[in-house]
Amino acid sequence: MNTLPGPLGNARPLSAEGAPMIDPFGRAVTYLRVSVTDRCDFRCTYCMAENMTFLPKKDLLTLEELNRLCSAFIAKGVRKLRLTGGEPLVRKNIMHLIRELGRHIDTGALEELTLTTNGSQLARHAEELYACGVRRINVSLDTLDPDKFRTITRWGDFSKVMEGIDAARKAGLKIKLNAVALKDFNQHEIPDMLRFAHGLGMDMTVIETMPMGEIEEDRTDRYLPLSELRADLERQFTLIDIPYRTGGPARYVEVAETGGRLGFITPMTHNFCESCNRVRLTCTGTLYMCLGQNDAADLRTALRASEDDALLSQAIDEAILRKPKGHDFIIDRNHNRPAVARHMSVTGG
């Protein structure tokens, strides 16, 4: 683990000369999501088992290695970088990595550095995140009811998340709330969450639950198609389709009554694979070309084989050429095992 406050390794800001990486289906890969840790201080019931076995710390890439890998992708045309987990802000000394990656914002090589967080650590990091070049974050929040919040997260403290959101807003960070739509849990609360978010100038996105990793409950009991949720919302709100995009898979509407934006991420009922511009890097240096497929590339070996990036660049190119057309997520009573065995926290949300 890196404990030094100075620059991480020999990685340095690169010029924005990298041509986009093109996959076999003509899609430009310009968006990298990096899971900096598989650990989290919550145990959300649809995401993790309560008694998780996490990776040994010795198996994780160092912060220096993560910086070098991210810099290599930026040199090859990645323009948006999102840090995820687990919970990224529980990784020791994570702000040193974020500070280093922020230098690519300063040079213009990277257009956006963002973060997905559960909000638990935001109160103490929000100002520094802004100082490092982060301007927009996603906060995962599935309910505004403190008791239900404790139930769904098992370990979470709702008041700390609210303090984190407040600190982020005061620091100047734009916030989007991400809510997983769960049948018989929060489906009737979504309108109030929408009003809450838009009342504070925050966007909101709702997400279908995905069959990743073994958990205690049956996902078919919680699965809520967003087509059904949208129909319910349209009884209360006027939803106007808009072309707004953030680089991710959400399709957005404007809510006439609030003036805010609402996104829908529908990997189950309407996949977004035809426009996929993303690949995902784990904290061990494994690259997944698709969230819903098991094919992966080992970049750690290439990273550690040489101090220059020639082998690493070649390994990345070979991986992009294996990016599949789409995923095969299914949730029904006949497919109640996960589509992929790894938990979402391994790949990054």
Q: Which segments are annotated as binding site for S-adenosyl-L-methionine? A: 46, 86, 140, 210
Q: Which amino acid is at 6?
A: G
**DSSP letter assigned to residue 175:** E
Q: Which segments are annotated as binding site for [4Fe-4S] cluster? A: 40, 44, 47, 273, 276, 290
What residues have CB less than 8 Å from 320, skipping those under 6 apart?
Answer: 21, 22, 23, 29, 279, 289
Cβ distance 177 to 205 under 8 Å? yes
Rounded Cα distance, 242 and 253, in Å: 5
Q: Which segments are annotated as binding site for GTP? A: 33, 82, 116, 176, 278-280
pLDDT at 48 (0 to 100): 76
Rounded Cα distance, 270 and 275, in Å: 12
pLDDT at 333 (0 to 100): 43
Q: Which segments are annotated as binding site? A: 33, 40, 44, 46-47, 82, 86, 116, 140, 176, 210, 273, 276, 278-280, 290
pLDDT at 3 (0 to 100): 40
Task: Give the helix ranges, DSSP H, for 213-299.
Answer: 226-233
DSSP strands (E only) in the chain: 21-22, 28-29, 31-35, 80-84, 112-117, 136-140, 174-181, 203-208, 239-241, 251-255, 261-265, 278-281, 286-288, 296-298
**What pTM was estimated for this model as a whole?**
0.85
What residues have CB less than 8 Å from 121, skipping those under 6 apart?
Answer: 41, 87, 89, 90, 164
| Of 202, 162, 186, residue with least CA distance to 44 | 186
Q: Could you report the average pLDDT of every consecutive run of 10 residues in the chain (349 residues)?
A: 47 52 94 95 82 86 98 97 96 97 97 97 98 98 96 93 98 97 93 98 92 51 88 97 89 97 80 80 95 88 95 96 74 47 51
Task: Give the helix ranges, DSSP H, for the chain.
Answer: 63-75, 94-107, 122-131, 146-153, 158-171, 190-199, 226-233, 300-305, 310-320, 344-347
**DSSP letter assigned to residue 18:** P
pLDDT at 271 (0 to 100): 56
Q: Which amino acid is at 153?
A: T
Kindly tell me the burial class for residue 9, based on how many C-beta atoms sit within 10 Å of its own C-beta (0-12, 13-18, 19 or more): middle
pLDDT at 45 (0 to 100): 82
Q: Within 10 A of 41 (CB to CB), how many other CB atoms are there?
A: 17
Query: What is the CATH number assigned to the segment(s) 21-178+275-347?
Result: 3.20.20.70
